[in-house]
Structure 1
């Protein structure tokens, strides 16, 4: 194992290209790293090892333990709430209850609505005098309107919580109480009503936490992924040309774009090792912090030949961007739907879309928990 720890997360360069470290990271199965908190953790770098540790019961999401590695100096309530058990069997109970309301049928039923939102936003975009910031003019309002509509957040309240976890926490508590008295045809109302003979129902606190997670994760990460995906395509005209010639390739393109540009650093995947485990011949001791580096899995040469090349016709689409095992992202179907519809609307209606600045002028956010580009200036 490398003697000196790397700094993690890695710095993503402009143009939405992957960090240099990802080209060679898998030379070792486990790498030591220093996190923004100053604490150390072990990075798991290879696809198959990552898939295994994501389902290993000794790799716990509960980091509310003495001496556990921290992501950052400040605790983030979304990622570590002591009243919510993130491990089975309690986590499994919550997931089963959530799944009763957050169904694939409910998500797919949103497709006509998402199409309408995307088309309206594109109409507004092309009425403007270019350039425009695609992130603020298209990606954020699309994902925000969709997740708010799904949860039952009234349109006039949608700007109230953006960018403020505290405001989102307070607002969601108020909205849940309102839905208890006047339920509607929305996810929050459905979750309030979910009950199972074996699993009971979600407690008030569980419901509150999950709704905030769905709200915040449901628009920021997908909006960031959409902006980065557009940049990747605009800087690879041969791949964009394939989509313009054959829009039926968009679902495949979305999977390849997800593989190449994970919608958030894997820092948020930080785990606690409850007992010694062996990964790739390396023993990771009990009490250690461990990060399955999902972006590294996406560039594993043994799984994705020529991984640094974007190829929307790539046959293998089995990336791990949405995690795997008991913590597979519940919002994966919604994110895929939004990305597919959003790209389709841009390709159909803005054939002259281009970057309004040199790719080298693009910049990522400074936050270790936010991978997204600050702006995506485009013209047409």
Structure 2
């Protein structure tokens, strides 16, 4: 069966990938596709829910691509020495060391500060005489960026440069030099880690530099750069899109928006979970490759082939969620895959949920008549198959 070339219709795919995933799922849960211009050959795309769960936790679907020759145009850097791009037992060791410091208590201690940052950003929005704003620039980006920088202890981060590099890493623009942003970001973070090692504080990055396992094991310099990269990029990019995609969904469903406004305490937690399921921030998990022949959904994926697990496709699988294309804040969406599944499940999920709930509730309380700004022009969708969202969200009140 020939690979389905989705990359040739990138604009329509970026605007509405769910239609493509549904068509594929109608004929089976696993398909060969041409989905990403950075990959020369086809990849296997998994769009069924049960098959996605299986793949996300399959020991033979590996994440460390550095010695495979799969992406010859990309030069590996210290930033790649992170948990997301590693496999057991190396992954097990890294996650154990990071989890010692990335605790629920540390995350919960950020709650008051998250609320304070949110309120300050909304104050600045409310002071705008034109009563319009780009919600991403005004709230969805600066909130998680400030939170993760303060958590890691890097408040002086050059955010404009970092935002550019981060965007190129997760949603690269066609024609940009392969790996250039990765290399520049890696060099920047190396200087950051070195400076933090010389002047440690009570922050998470200082704690990661100091942390030791029971047997004396600690993170190497390269691993610290990899962790800083993963926590900074993953710690803000996903939350940007959780907030903006969630607000877009609510504004497109005014009846449910009204219900949520009337009962924040009862409905907000479930509403945020439905936002994650319905239009989550991560469309497809990062590449895996088959370390051996792997059978999933009745299809044998040959050893060495690349695999993409579609979190967006799985979370719209009618076999798991009734009327999956309907946004319903009353749904019980437990089991969605927006944060992944298995050993690579998102370590920062509690922090992202907290930020999403605080940001969306505070925004809706501050601006009762919030609406999309019709003068803002058509949406500009993020490119590529990794992230799901828009680069701008013009709103008015």
Query: How many angstroms apart in 1 are the aligned matches of 2:63 and 2:157?
Result: 36
**1:105 corresponds to which residue?**
105
Query: Residue by residue, what CA displacement relative to the aligned partner does 1:318-373 show, whole Å, maximum 9, x if unpaired?
Result: 11111111111112111111111100111111111000027982120334544321
TM-score when scaled to structure 2? 0.87
Structure-to-structure mapping, 1:153-168, within 5 angstroms: 153-155=154-156, 157-164=158-165, 165=181, 166-168=183-185
Query: How many angstroms apart in 2 are the aligned matches of 1:104 and 1:219?
Result: 18
The alpha-carbon deviation at position 143 of structure 1 amounts to 1.1
**1:6 corresponds to which residue?**
5
The alpha-carbon deviation at position 76 of structure 1 amounts to 7.3
Alignment partner of 1:283: what SS?
Answer: strand
The alpha-carbon deviation at position 303 of structure 1 amounts to 1.1
Query: How many angstroms apart in 2 are the aligned matches of 1:25 and 1:356?
Result: 34
Q: 1:19–1:297: structure 2 CA closer, same or farther, 3 Å change rule?
A: closer
Deviates more, 1:163-172 or 1:104-113: 163-172
The alpha-carbon deviation at position 234 of structure 1 amounts to 0.3
Query: How many angstroms apart in 2 are the aligned matches of 1:206 and 1:269?
Result: 19
The alpha-carbon deviation at position 90 of structure 1 amounts to 0.7
Q: 1:24–1:359: structure 2 CA closer, same or farther, 3 Å change rule?
A: farther
**2:86 corresponds to which residue?**
86
The alpha-carbon deviation at position 278 of structure 1 amounts to 1.0
Structure-to-structure mapping, 1:1-380, within 5 angstroms: 2-7=1-6, 11=10, 19-27=18-26, 28-34=28-34, 35-36=36-37, 37-68=39-70, 70=71, 74=74, 80=80, 86-128=86-128, 129-155=130-156, 157-164=158-165, 165=181, 166-198=183-215, 200-248=217-265, 249-266=267-284, 268-357=285-374, 361-380=378-397
Alignment partner of 1:255: what SS?
Answer: helix
**How many pairs are equivalent?**
376
Query: How many angstroms apart in 2 are the aligned matches of 1:201 and 1:178?
Result: 18
| Superposition RMSD in Å | 2.7
Contact map agreement 1:162 1:168 (CA 8 A) in 2: no
Q: 1:13–1:123: structure 2 CA closer, same or farther, 3 Å change rule?
A: farther
Query: How many angstroms apart in 2 are the aligned matches of 1:302 and 1:74?
Result: 38
Query: How many angstroms apart in 1 are the aligned matches of 2:19 and 2:93?
Result: 40
Alignment partner of 1:361: what SS?
Answer: coil
Contact map agreement 1:12 1:18 (CA 8 A) in 2: no
**Unpaired runs of 5+ in structure 2?**
166-180
Query: Residue by residue, what CA displacement relative to the aligned partner does 1:53-96 show, whole Å, maximum 9, x if unpaired?
Result: 1111110002224453x4x9656758855999600001100000
